[in-house]
Amino acid sequence: MENTAAAAVLAALAAAGSAFCGGAEIPRETMERIAREVATPYKAGMLIEPGKGEKLDCPMVFRRNGKWFMMYVRFDGSGYETMLAESDDLLAWRKLGCVLPRGGPGDWDGEQADGTPLLLDPEWEGSNELRPFGGRYWMLYIGGARRGYETDPLSAGVAFTDDPSAPRKWKRAKDSPVLGPADADARPFERKTIYKHYVVEDSSRSLGARFVDFYNAKQKGVWQERIGMAVSDDMVNWRRYGEKPVIDDCLPGKAGISGDPMIRRIGGLWVMFYFGFNWKPGEKGAFDTFACSRDLVHWTKWTGEPLLRPSEPYDNVHAHKPWVIKHGGVVYHFYCAVGGKGRGIALATSKPLK
């Protein structure tokens, strides 16, 4: 019965997704169906807790060879590095080690290396595996030369591997950034720092390129982060797309964030999960929400209750930075929890887990 109901919901969403032209506003009814489909009201607690002096961030989960793997970010007091863990059930995780360490002394990324694996199967009830391109698996990463927690300026680098599940170092594809806030073509909303990336493949090349990168970036002046786009045909050379951000929730003259986009394909619609901070009335701390699109450019933002908000002792400051997958009829919403246990990796689900 549950599978039949889920199929009916996805069929309705597919019909809604094809009934309008690409730039049209998505109807409230469709947005509500998406909200019900991705809802995760059951918090399962902290999965990976930080050690002394650590901050853990940005869970990124994928499947390979029958096992689950999670990349996540570790801050050790100096800067970011990217870690790997594995699981048999999405609940109990074993740490495997560092896969993207910081660069060497004097390198542009010598103090920061925060990577995101690219090309997750976009289909909502798909394989949840990473897809290779050119015989390699790819990541874009946040890099920087200054010590500290997300110390400006930060730029984007590229790395690759032949096996994303192996606990060994990924190789840098270039020894310089591929997108940076000082680039001549950087737009006003990204001229201080470039943050987290998520890339989807557009087989139709509707935007004139094979790959589309969504990332949040910070402007100069008032701290405001918005989500913009870049495109590429080879994963190494990127060019900006559009003059303005595609997601902008910030209030004029007030600090705020829309960040860490993560995109799935649900019933014919692109669904972007992202976190918000300091712009939604009544919300204290960072929370997770979503937006929907038919063409990857025009997005209708969800205006209802957040998908996830601070509520428990371990996430009562922030509950944010979503990575959302569906497996075995259950939606798993991994997120960064900030509260009484520090900054770590937590989980919420669509059904209570045994």
- pLDDT tens-digit series, residues 151-195: 999 999 999 999 999 999 999 999 999 999 999 999 999 999 999
Q: Residue 157 is part of a domain; what is its CATH number?
A: 2.115.10.20
Residues spanned by the domain of 144: 2-349
pLDDT of residue 333: 99
Q: How far is CA 301 from CA 68, 81, 106, 287, in A?
A: 30, 32, 42, 14
**Domain contains 354:** no
Q: Is the pLDDT of residue 13 over 60?
A: no
Strand order in the sheet with 171-172: 112-117, 137-144, 155-161, 171-172
What is the value of pTM for the model shown?
0.93
Is residue 136 one of the residues assigned to a domain?
Answer: yes
Residue 219 has pLDDT above 50, yes or no: yes
Say how far apart CA 55 and CA 314 lie, in whole Å: 13
In a domain, 272, yes or no: yes
**In-domain check, residue 142:** yes
Give the whole-angstrom CA distance, residue 214 versus residue 21: 22
pLDDT above 60 for 127 = yes
Distances in whole angstroms, Cα of residue 12 to Cα of each of 8, 21, 23: 6, 17, 19
Q: Is residue 240 predicted with pLDDT exceeding 50?
A: yes
Residue 315 burial (CB count, 10 A): 28
The confidence band for 24, taking pLDDT boundaries of 50, 70 and 90, is: confident
Provide the β-strand partners of residue 198: 214
- The count of domains in the chain is 1
Residue 283 lies in a domain: yes
Residue 59 forms part of a structural domain: yes
pLDDT of residue 22: 52
Is position 69 within any domain? Answer: yes
- Please tell me the predicted confidence (pLDDT) of residue 1: 43
- Percentage of residues in the chain having pLDDT higher than 90: 92
Q: Which tens digits make up the pLDDT trace of 34-83? A: 999 999 999 999 999 999 999 999 999 999 999 999 999 999 999 999 99
Rounded to a whole number of angstroms, the CA Rg of the chain reads: 19
